Amino acid sequence: MTTNLGDRPAALAQFPVDHIGIAVADLDAASEPYELIGLARVGADEAIASQHVRVRALQAGDSLVELLEPTAPDSPIAKFLEKRGAGLHHVALRVRDLRAEIIRLEALGARFINAEPRAGRAGTQVVFLHPKWTGGVLVELVEHS
Protein backbone atom coordinates (compact mmCIF):
# COMPACT_ATOMS: atom_id res chain seq x y z
CA MET A 1 0.00 0.00 0.00
CA THR A 2 1.36 3.35 -0.98
CA THR A 3 0.87 6.35 1.23
CA ASN A 4 0.37 8.52 -1.82
CA LEU A 5 -3.19 7.46 -2.51
CA GLY A 6 -3.76 10.08 -5.17
CA ASP A 7 -1.49 8.48 -7.74
CA ARG A 8 -3.18 5.13 -8.16
CA PRO A 9 -6.89 5.34 -7.43
CA ALA A 10 -7.67 2.40 -9.72
CA ALA A 11 -5.28 0.15 -7.81
CA LEU A 12 -6.81 0.83 -4.41
CA ALA A 13 -8.56 -2.05 -2.75
CA GLN A 14 -12.08 -1.38 -1.51
CA PHE A 15 -12.82 -1.27 2.20
CA PRO A 16 -9.45 -1.52 3.95
CA VAL A 17 -9.49 0.02 7.41
CA ASP A 18 -8.43 3.58 6.65
CA HIS A 19 -8.32 4.66 10.26
CA ILE A 20 -9.87 4.20 13.64
CA GLY A 21 -11.17 7.31 15.37
CA ILE A 22 -10.67 7.70 19.11
CA ALA A 23 -12.42 10.38 21.16
CA VAL A 24 -10.05 12.16 23.53
CA ALA A 25 -10.22 15.16 25.83
CA ASP A 26 -6.63 16.24 25.20
CA LEU A 27 -4.52 15.39 22.15
CA ASP A 28 -1.14 15.61 23.83
CA ALA A 29 -2.07 13.46 26.81
CA ALA A 30 -3.90 10.94 24.63
CA SER A 31 -1.20 10.56 21.99
CA GLU A 32 1.61 9.92 24.46
CA PRO A 33 1.02 6.18 24.95
CA TYR A 34 0.66 5.62 21.18
CA GLU A 35 3.90 7.47 20.54
CA LEU A 36 5.60 5.45 23.28
CA ILE A 37 4.37 2.30 21.55
CA GLY A 38 6.15 3.64 18.48
CA LEU A 39 3.45 5.10 16.24
CA ALA A 40 4.69 8.19 14.37
CA ARG A 41 2.64 11.30 13.76
CA VAL A 42 1.43 11.89 10.22
CA GLY A 43 1.50 15.56 9.28
CA ALA A 44 0.41 18.31 11.62
CA ASP A 45 -2.68 18.34 13.79
CA GLU A 46 -5.64 19.38 11.68
CA ALA A 47 -8.80 21.25 12.64
CA ILE A 48 -11.92 19.97 10.89
CA ALA A 49 -14.44 22.76 11.08
CA SER A 50 -17.44 20.73 9.92
CA GLN A 51 -17.05 18.32 12.82
CA HIS A 52 -15.69 20.74 15.43
CA VAL A 53 -12.66 18.59 16.15
CA ARG A 54 -8.91 18.75 16.06
CA VAL A 55 -7.30 15.56 14.74
CA ARG A 56 -3.88 14.05 15.30
CA ALA A 57 -3.08 11.13 13.01
CA LEU A 58 -0.61 8.37 13.91
CA GLN A 59 0.60 5.75 11.45
CA ALA A 60 -0.27 2.15 12.29
CA GLY A 61 0.87 0.06 9.35
CA ASP A 62 -1.32 0.86 6.36
CA SER A 63 -3.93 2.46 8.63
CA LEU A 64 -4.06 5.42 10.95
CA VAL A 65 -5.08 5.97 14.51
CA GLU A 66 -6.87 9.32 14.58
CA LEU A 67 -7.23 11.06 17.91
CA LEU A 68 -10.20 13.43 17.96
CA GLU A 69 -10.35 16.32 20.40
CA PRO A 70 -13.47 18.50 20.49
CA THR A 71 -13.08 22.19 19.70
CA ALA A 72 -16.62 23.24 20.65
CA PRO A 73 -19.19 22.11 23.23
CA ASP A 74 -21.63 21.10 20.48
CA SER A 75 -19.04 18.90 18.78
CA PRO A 76 -20.23 15.30 18.35
CA ILE A 77 -17.01 14.30 20.08
CA ALA A 78 -17.76 16.55 23.07
CA LYS A 79 -21.15 14.87 23.39
CA PHE A 80 -19.57 11.44 23.09
CA LEU A 81 -17.03 12.26 25.83
CA GLU A 82 -19.83 13.49 28.11
CA LYS A 83 -21.89 10.37 27.63
CA ARG A 84 -19.28 7.62 27.39
CA GLY A 85 -15.89 9.07 28.20
CA ALA A 86 -12.77 8.79 26.08
CA GLY A 87 -12.41 5.76 23.87
CA LEU A 88 -13.05 4.13 20.53
CA HIS A 89 -15.41 6.31 18.51
CA HIS A 90 -15.52 4.95 14.96
CA VAL A 91 -13.97 2.67 12.37
CA ALA A 92 -13.36 4.14 8.91
CA LEU A 93 -13.37 2.02 5.76
CA ARG A 94 -11.84 3.35 2.57
CA VAL A 95 -13.87 3.36 -0.64
CA ARG A 96 -12.97 4.37 -4.18
CA ASP A 97 -16.19 6.17 -5.05
CA LEU A 98 -18.10 7.47 -2.07
CA ARG A 99 -21.16 8.71 -3.99
CA ALA A 100 -21.53 5.37 -5.75
CA GLU A 101 -21.30 3.56 -2.40
CA ILE A 102 -23.95 5.82 -0.85
CA ILE A 103 -26.36 5.10 -3.70
CA ARG A 104 -25.61 1.37 -3.59
CA LEU A 105 -26.01 1.13 0.18
CA GLU A 106 -29.15 3.26 0.33
CA ALA A 107 -30.72 0.84 -2.14
CA LEU A 108 -29.82 -1.95 0.28
CA GLY A 109 -31.55 -0.17 3.17
CA ALA A 110 -28.48 1.23 4.91
CA ARG A 111 -29.05 4.01 7.42
CA PHE A 112 -26.73 6.98 7.39
CA ILE A 113 -26.05 9.70 9.93
CA ASN A 114 -25.21 11.91 6.97
CA ALA A 115 -25.76 10.69 3.43
CA GLU A 116 -24.23 13.90 2.06
CA PRO A 117 -20.41 13.72 2.12
CA ARG A 118 -18.54 16.04 4.49
CA ALA A 119 -14.94 17.14 4.55
CA GLY A 120 -12.70 14.85 6.59
CA ARG A 121 -9.01 14.96 7.44
CA ALA A 122 -6.41 15.48 4.69
CA GLY A 123 -8.87 16.44 1.97
CA THR A 124 -11.01 13.32 2.28
CA GLN A 125 -14.78 13.09 1.87
CA VAL A 126 -16.64 11.09 4.49
CA VAL A 127 -20.06 9.80 5.50
CA PHE A 128 -21.13 7.96 8.63
CA LEU A 129 -23.40 4.92 8.77
CA HIS A 130 -25.81 4.80 11.68
CA PRO A 131 -24.57 2.52 14.47
CA LYS A 132 -28.08 1.11 14.80
CA TRP A 133 -27.62 -0.29 11.30
CA THR A 134 -24.08 -1.58 11.89
CA GLY A 135 -24.59 -3.42 15.15
CA GLY A 136 -23.51 -0.70 17.54
CA VAL A 137 -20.37 0.50 15.76
CA LEU A 138 -20.14 3.90 14.14
CA VAL A 139 -18.72 3.18 10.68
CA GLU A 140 -17.29 5.91 8.48
CA LEU A 141 -16.79 5.54 4.73
CA VAL A 142 -13.92 7.64 3.43
CA GLU A 143 -12.79 8.55 -0.07
CA HIS A 144 -9.35 10.02 -0.68
CA SER A 145 -9.29 12.53 -3.52
Q: Please, what is the minimum distance in Å from the beta carbon of residue 66 to Co ion?
A: 6
Q: Please, what is the minimum distance in Å from the beta carbon of residue 10 to Co ion?
A: 24
The CA angle 65-68-72, to the nearest 5 degrees, is 170
138 binds Co ion (CB under 5 A): no
Nearer to Co ion, 107 or 116 (CB): 116
Of the residues 57, 94, 98, 140, which one makes contact with Co ion according to CB under 5 A: 140
Contact window for Co ion (CB under 5 A) among 17-25, 36-44, 78-86, 110-118: 17-25
Query: 94 by DSSP, 3-state: which?
Result: strand
> Nearest 5°: phi and psi at 102?
-60, -45
Q: By rule CB under 5 A, what string of x and - marks binding of each residue 88-127 to Co ion?
A: ----x-----------------------------------
91 contacts 20 by C-beta, under 8 angstroms: yes
How would you label 57-78 residue by residue, b for 16+ Cβ within 10 Å and e otherwise? Answer: bbbbeebbbbbbbbeeeebbbb
Residue 112, strand partner residues: 129
Nearer to Co ion, 92 or 98 (CB): 92
Q: Contact positions toward Co ion, by CB under 5 A?
A: 21, 92, 140
